[in-house]
Chain A
Amino acid sequence: MKKNKITVLYIGLICYSIFITGCSANSENSVEDKMNQKVVSKIKVSKESIDQLIQSFPSPIETSIIIKKAGNEFSSELLIPTKKIDRFVSSYDKAMAMGSFGGDMGYINIYGKSFVAIDYLAAIRLLSVDLEIDRFFDFEDMIRMAKSSSNIDSLQRMSTESFNNMEKYLREKGRNELSVLIVFGTWIEGAYIVSYIANDNMTEEMKNRVAEQKESVEKINEILVSASSDKYFANLARQLKPLNELYKKIKIEKIMREPEMKEVDGQLVFIDKSETKIHAEKDLVQTIINETVKLRNELLK
């Protein structure tokens, strides 16, 4: 009888240790395995290039802060409509749309318009479920935060963390095509918002903000062209070409200088002494604005 008890205990403990070593990985691995089996990346660009491209793109938060600091009011008219999400059919379309909705979330969060965020979170949820990357988002918590305007900072942080984790995961798992399209979607939405505002109020600052997109356009064009063995990317490169050609006419001169360093209240502060001179005719910037608006609406509206 005693021997039987020890045997049962023995088996129980073995099961326990197997469970402990495997339980945390199991739930994730099953999804990961599924994702890994389903898609083989069609982008032949090196992982390093993709990593660099993604890392070097400005976040939607930065673009939105610039717009807000320039004194522009929030406008929900600028945002992509959240109705009829089924207009995004393929996984590529959905990835691009997801990036764009993420860009809009950055704009909404910086202006503290949490009541608008709920519809955008719902759209992102639908797209992420279809793309099987919804596990990076805690939608229940995010929607709860959006319903309470006092939690806007937490919502902003959580949105950033979710997108960062998702993007990192996709890159690590070699799903570069989705990663690039998410970045592209975020970028085109930010460029559209800047263009739309500059179109209404072409101040020197907004003109320069449009012009300084040159570097981003060059980088995204490079990746799209090198991935053009895939029909979708080839088509996207073709659509971006007119904008890229226009940006080639803009000249940006950078004069780099050593920064000034000082200690303020125990913190180290560096003041950039460099200078940027942007040479762009107003008419050229206007044409770029029109082309950006056209491209964004063709792809996402």
Chain B
Amino acid sequence: MKKRGYFILAFIIIGGLVSFVSSPLGGNKCTGDEEYAIGLGSLGAYSLIKDYRVNLKSGDPAPNENFMISLKAGLKYRFLPINNPENKKKMIMSIYMNQQKGMMLATSYNKATGKHYPTIDFACRTTGTFYVFFEMEDGEKGCGVGMFSVAN
């Protein structure tokens, strides 16, 4: 009888823990909250404009998420891609002239050297609407946060 009681107790505790982990209070690998905090710490003399929580599936060609942004001539912008530590490959943040990836204005990945950069600075001379794209290198799955900021 005592044994049965302990069994039930163990079952409930494990069940409670499982529920906790899957609940909004528990750990969620891709909430982006930790990446967001890291990004804020890297902004320096730049002011946050927007943040993007990105969650990408694997695929070929690499799936992307894109968002329309407005840039103003005469201002200096900083873009930060912040990777989730569990990403196998790094997230690439790029700015394009339009949604069809017409002309690339800036990117965090130099394809020629294979180097990723933690920030991209963009000195804007043309006011207008552009697109910020997120994708994972080699079309791997992954998640992270992108930050869009402006120099004070």
Contacts and interface: CB of A to CB of B under 8 A. Distances in A.
Contacts of B29: none
A272 B16 contact: no
A264 B108 CA distance: 13
Given A256-B103, A267-B121, A268-B108, A69 B74 contact: yes
Interface size class, chain B: 35 or more
Interface residues of A, number: 53
A256 B51 contact: no
Interface string B35-60: 00000100000011111000000000
Contact of B120 (A16, A157, A270): A270
User: SS class of chain B's interface: helix, strand, loop or mixed?
Assistant: mixed
A2 B1 CA distance: 10
B38 to A, nearest CB: 15
Contact of B25 (A24, A57, A161): A24
B5 A56 contact: no
B33 to A, nearest CB: 12
User: SS class of chain A's interface: helix, strand, loop or mixed?
Assistant: helix
B123 A270 contact: yes
A110 B45 CA distance: 12
Contacts of B151: 65
B69 A13 contact: no
Contact of A271 (B13, B123, B150, B152): B123
Interface string B94-114: 000100000101111010000
Contact of B72 (A16, A56, A66): A66
Interface string B2-44: 1001001100110110011011110000000000000010000
B126 A275 contact: yes
B129 A56 contact: yes
A13 B12 contact: yes
Contacts of B118: 267
Given A160-B49, A270-B105, A62 B150 contact: yes
Contacts of B13: 13
A110 B72 CA distance: 16
A24 B24 contact: yes
A212 B128 CA distance: 8
A9 interface: yes
Nearest to B73: A276
A272 B122 CA distance: 7
Nearest to B97: A256
A89 interface: no
B67 A21 contact: no
A164 B50 contact: yes
A3 B8 CA distance: 12
Nearest to B102: A256
Given A62-B72, A157-B48, A268-B121, A258 B24 contact: no
A17 B19 contact: yes
B55 to A, nearest CB: 15
Contact of A269 (B103, B123, B127): B123
B88 interface: no
Contact of B12 (A3, A14, A205): A14
B150 A65 contact: yes
B64 interface: no
Given A17-B12, A160-B48, A269-B120, 20 more contacts: A6-B5, A6-B9, A13-B13, A17-B15, A20-B23, A22-B23, A23-B25, A59-B150, A61-B150, A63-B72, A66-B75, A205-B74, A212-B127, A268-B106, A268-B110, A269-B122, A272-B123, A274-B126, A276-B125, A276-B126
Interface of A: 2-3, 6, 9-10, 13-14, 16-17, 20-25, 52, 55-59, 61-63, 65-66, 69, 110, 156-157, 160-161, 164, 205, 212, 215, 254, 256, 258-259, 261, 264, 266-276
Interface of B: 1-2, 5, 8-9, 12-13, 15-16, 19-20, 22-25, 40, 47-51, 67-70, 72-75, 97, 103, 105-108, 110, 117-129, 150-152
Closest 5 CB pairs between A and B?
A: A17-B16, A270-B106, A6-B5, A272-B125, A13-B12
